[in-house]
């Protein structure tokens, strides 16, 4: 049983705790929040017995094996560093860090602490329907491009419209549509097609400087992939991957609830399965098997593959931001 702690007490943390407990591989022990009262309020209802208002105390607690980090984006790097340096597993909500420099520093910490493990909680990468698409892409005679859409109105946008600056729309907290919903589409592109040769990001910026929505173009040697991303609009558009006369159609490039392969004759075949009610169960199960048996050949191979995809996704997101001239607070502009 993996005894874990959490940083962050929002809805996504609750979803991960529920998923982790559903696997019967994890047990919540500790909760960090800025106040002990808030940590207790979240933790006691979920079975936790330890509460912290200092991250160092959580990271260095010998009873804790792993820490799930769901704080604002700008805090991920420092908090993950503390967890890894304590020889623990860090499960970090996407996006794992803001830029490739931070990512490589985390990797150096991993190398210095071989017992530690680092996971980016990109949940859909671990789901069967994601892997079914990846398999079907490999069976296409020729890939001629894709259009991937994920646009979902954020409840925090109402606060923005009221004149506030929520974390998710703030450059101080590494926010914006690309850094949130865009991570799902970046994972799709990197895992299914590899790294593009050129990128462009046409961002619709808010008064905070963060992007509320945008369109990214990823240019590969023989095709382009378009990413439609938004946190201030809703979209019901399907996403598609184009073959020659065939295609793969998904209801949503992040949720992946329904996926069909349409052959050259127009025959539709459902290649998806009914997903878990909690979409984070698959990742919690995958992370658990690596933590519990890191020397197993398949587990070790999968872990290294996840790390490499995470590195490339981080690089892709950074390149798109640079092209779109979106710079986080204290981040230098490139010439």
pLDDT tens-digit series, residues 162-214: 999 999 999 999 999 999 999 999 999 999 999 999 999 999 999 999 999 99
Let me know whether 147 and 234 are in one domain.
yes
Q: How far apart are CA 81 and CA 118, in angstroms?
A: 10
* Torsion angles phi and psi, residue 190, rounded to 5: -65, -45
Let me know whether 111 and 189 are in one domain.
no
Let me know whether 136 and 253 are in one domain.
yes
- pLDDT for position 193: 98
- Which distant-in-sequence residues (6+ apart) come within 8 Å of 50 by Cβ? 5, 29, 30, 31, 43, 61, 63
Instruction: State mean pLDDT over 134-148.
Output: 98
pTM: 0.96
Instruction: State mean pLDDT over 112-126.
Output: 98
Q: What is the CATH number of the domain that holds 20?
A: 3.40.50.720
Q: Which of 275, 302, 327 is the last residue of a domain?
A: 275
Please name which of 162, 145, 203, 199 lies closest in space to residue 179, comparing C-alpha atoms: 203
For residue 87, is it left (φ>0), alpha (ψ between -120 and 50) or beta? Answer: left
Is 80 among the domain residues?
A: yes
Let me know whether 105 and 146 are in one domain.
no
Q: How far apart are CA 112 and CA 9, in angstroms?
A: 30
Is 146 among the domain residues?
A: yes
- Domain range for 55 is 2-119
- Which distant-in-sequence residues (6+ apart) come within 8 Å of 59 by Cβ? 67, 82, 83, 85, 86, 88
Instruction: State mean pLDDT over 94-99.
Output: 97
Domain count, the chain: 2
**Other Cβ atoms closer than 10 A to 36:** 15
Let me know whether 106 and 129 are in one domain.
no
Let me know whether 78 and 161 are in one domain.
no
Let me know whether 101 and 220 are in one domain.
no
Please name which of 36, 97, 102, 49 lies closest in space to residue 69, comparing C-alpha atoms: 97
**215's tokens:** 């369109």
Q: Which of 275, 304, 320 is the last residue of a domain?
A: 275
pLDDT tens-digit series, residues 29-44: 999 999 999 999 999 9
Please name which of 271, 282, 279, 323 lies closest in space to residue 306, comparing C-alpha atoms: 282
CA triple 9-15-20, angle to 5 deg: 105
**195-to-126, 198, 257, 265 alpha-carbon distances in Å:** 19, 9, 25, 31
- pLDDT for position 315: 98
- pLDDT for position 334: 46
pLDDT tens-digit series, residues 14-69: 999 999 999 999 999 999 999 999 999 999 999 999 999 999 999 999 999 999 99
Residue 222, classified by CB atoms within 10 Å of its CB into exposed (0-12), middle (13-18) or buried (19+), is exposed
- pLDDT for position 335: 35
Q: How far apart are CA 131 and CA 9, in angstroms?
A: 30
Instruction: State mean pLDDT over 247-266.
Output: 97
Let me know whether 65 and 192 are in one domain.
no
Q: Does residue 333 carry a pLDDT above 90?
A: no
Is 194 among the domain residues?
A: yes
Q: Which of 243, 275, 307 is the last residue of a domain?
A: 275
Let me know whether 263 and 154 are in one domain.
yes
Supply the DSSP string of 106-131, one letter for each residue. HHHHHHH-TT-EEEEE-GGGGSHHHH
Is 103 among the domain residues?
A: yes
Let me know whether 138 and 95 are in one domain.
no
Q: How far apart are CA 52 and CA 5, in angstroms?
A: 10
Q: Which residue has the tokens 């790294």?
A: 195
Q: Which residue has the tokens 């558009």?
A: 237
């Amino acid at each position: 049983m993996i005894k874990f702690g959490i940083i962050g007490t929002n809805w996504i943390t609750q979803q991960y705790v529920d998923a982790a407990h559903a696997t019967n591989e994890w047990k919540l022990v500790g909760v960090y929040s800025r106040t002990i009262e808030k940590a207790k309020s979240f933790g006691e209802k979920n079975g936790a017995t330890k509460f912290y208002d200092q991250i160092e105390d959580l990271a260095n607690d010998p009873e804790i094996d792993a820490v799930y980090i769901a704080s604002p984006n700008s805090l991920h790097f420092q908090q993950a560093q503390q967890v890894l340096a304590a020889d623990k597993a860090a499960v970090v909500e996407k996006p794992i860090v803001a830029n490739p420099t931070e990512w490589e520093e985390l990797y150096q910490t991993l190398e210095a602490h071989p017992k530690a493990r680092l996971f980016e909680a990109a949940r859909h990468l671990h789901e069967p329907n994601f892997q079914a698409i990846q398999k079907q892409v490999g069976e296409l005679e020729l890939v001629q491009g894709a259009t991937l859409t994920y646009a979902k109105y954020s409840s925090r946008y109402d606060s923005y419209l009221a004149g506030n600056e929520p974390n998710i729309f703030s450059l101080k907290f590494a926010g914006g549509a690309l850094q949130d919903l865009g991570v799902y589409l970046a994972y799709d592109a990197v895992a299914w097609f590899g790294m593009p040769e050129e990128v462009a990001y046409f961002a619709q910026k808010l008064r905070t400087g963060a992007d509320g929505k945008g369109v990214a173009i990823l240019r590969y040697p023989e095709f382009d992939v378009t990413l439609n991303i938004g946190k201030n609009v809703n979209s019901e558009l399907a996403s598609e991957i184009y073959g020659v006369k065939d295609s793969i159609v998904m209801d949503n490039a992040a949720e992946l609830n329904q996926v069909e392969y349409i052959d050259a004759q127009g025959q539709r075949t459902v290649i998806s399965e009914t997903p878990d009610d909690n979409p984070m169960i698959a990742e919690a199960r995958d992370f658990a098997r690596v933590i519990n048996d890191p020397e197993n050949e398949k587990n070790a191979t999968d872990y290294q593959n996840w790390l490499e995809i995470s590195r490339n996704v981080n690089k892709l997101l950074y390149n798109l931001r640079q092209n779109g001239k979106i710079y986080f607070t204290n981040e230098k502009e490139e010439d």
